[in-house]
C-alpha cells in the first residue's frame, strides 16, 4: 500500500519540530525520510534544521541545491554565516532568475535573515492576503521568532483573527 501523503505528513512533523525549537529532532526526521534523495522538500527541511542548530555553513551547502528553490532560506543562511553581501546579492538576483519565487514570503525570509524588522514586517503585511492559516504558520516559524513581542505583529495577528 502506497501512502502518497507520507512526504507531506513528514514535512508537517519537521515543521512542527522547527517551530518548537527542536532542531535536533527535525534533523533526525529529515534524514530519515523514506523517499528518494530528491524528495522535493527534504533538502529544505534539512537545511532549515541545520540553521536551527546554528550550522549555517552546512545549511548553505544544502539549501543552495534545494529543489524547492526557496531562496529566502538560503539568504537567511548567508546572513547567519556572516555573508551579508551574498544574501543581498541573492535578494537582487533571485527574483529575476526564478520568477515563481519572487514574492513577499521570500523577501520576508531574506529580511528576517538580515534582522531588518521594518522590511520583514512590511513583507509580512503584504503576505497577509494568503489568510490566517498560512500567516499563523508563518508567524510561528523560527525564522520570524525575533519579531515576537513586536506590537506590529500583535496588531497583524489581531487583524487576521489569530491568537497572540
C-alpha cell of residue 158: 489581531
Q: Output the DSSP codes for 60-111.
A: HHHHTT-TT--HHHHHHHHHHTT-HHHHHHHHHHHHHH-GGG-SHHHHHHHH
Q: Check if the beta carbon of residue 23 is closer than 8 Å to that of residue 52.
A: yes
For the residues 105-121, what does the mean pLDDT come to? 96
**Which of 67, 68, 90 lies closest to 77 in space, CA to CA?**
90
For the residues 126-137, what does the mean pLDDT come to? 89
pLDDT digits (tens, 9 = 90+) for 144-163: 999 999 999 999 999 999 99
Q: How crowded is residue 83: how many other Cβ atoms within 10 Å of its Cβ?
A: 17
pLDDT digits (tens, 9 = 90+) for 39-78: 667 788 899 999 999 999 999 999 998 888 889 999 999 9
DSSP, collapsed to helix, strand or coil, labels residue 163 as coil
pLDDT band at 4 (very low <50, low <70, confident <90, very high): very low
**CA separation for the pair 15, 9 (Å, rounded):** 10
pTM above 0.85, yes or no: no
Angle of helix 6-19 relative to helix 23-31, nearest 10 degrees, comes to: 160
Q: Where are the domains of the chain?
A: 1-68
Q: Which of 30-34, 101-105, 123-127, 130-134 has the lowest mean pLDDT?
A: 30-34
**CA separation for the pair 161, 155 (Å, rounded):** 10
**Which of 63, 150, 75 lies closest to 114 in space, CA to CA?**
75
pLDDT at site 99: 72
pLDDT band at 7 (very low <50, low <70, confident <90, very high): low
Amino acid at each position: 500500500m502506497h501512502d502518497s501523503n507520507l512526504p507531506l505528513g513528514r514535512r508537517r512533523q519537521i515543521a512542527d519540530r522547527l517551530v518548537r525549537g527542536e532542531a535536533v529532532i527535525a534533523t533526525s526526521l529529515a534524514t530519515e525520510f523514506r523517499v528518494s534523495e530528491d524528495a522535493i522538500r527534504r533538502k529544505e527541511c534539512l537545511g532549515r534544521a541545520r540553521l536551527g542548530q546554528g550550522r549555517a555553513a552546512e545549511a548553505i551547502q544544502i539549501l543552495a541545491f534545494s529543489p524547492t528553490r526557496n531562496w529566502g532560506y538560503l539568504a537567511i543562511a548567508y546572513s547567519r554565516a556572516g555573508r551579508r553581501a551574498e544574501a543581498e546579492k541573492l535578494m537582487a538576483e533571485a527574483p529575476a532568475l526564478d520568477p515563481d519565487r519572487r514574492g513577499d514570503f521570500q523577501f520576508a525570509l531574506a529580511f528576517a535573515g538580515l534582522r531588518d524588522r521594518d522590511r520583514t514586517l512590511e513583507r509580512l503585511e503584504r503576505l497577509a492576503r494568503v489568510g490566517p492559516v498560512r500567516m499563523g504558520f508563518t508567524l510561528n516559524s523560527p525564522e520570524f521568532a525575533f519579531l515576537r513581542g513586536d506590537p506590529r505583529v500583535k496588531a497583524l495577528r489581531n487583524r487576521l483573527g489569530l491568537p497572540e
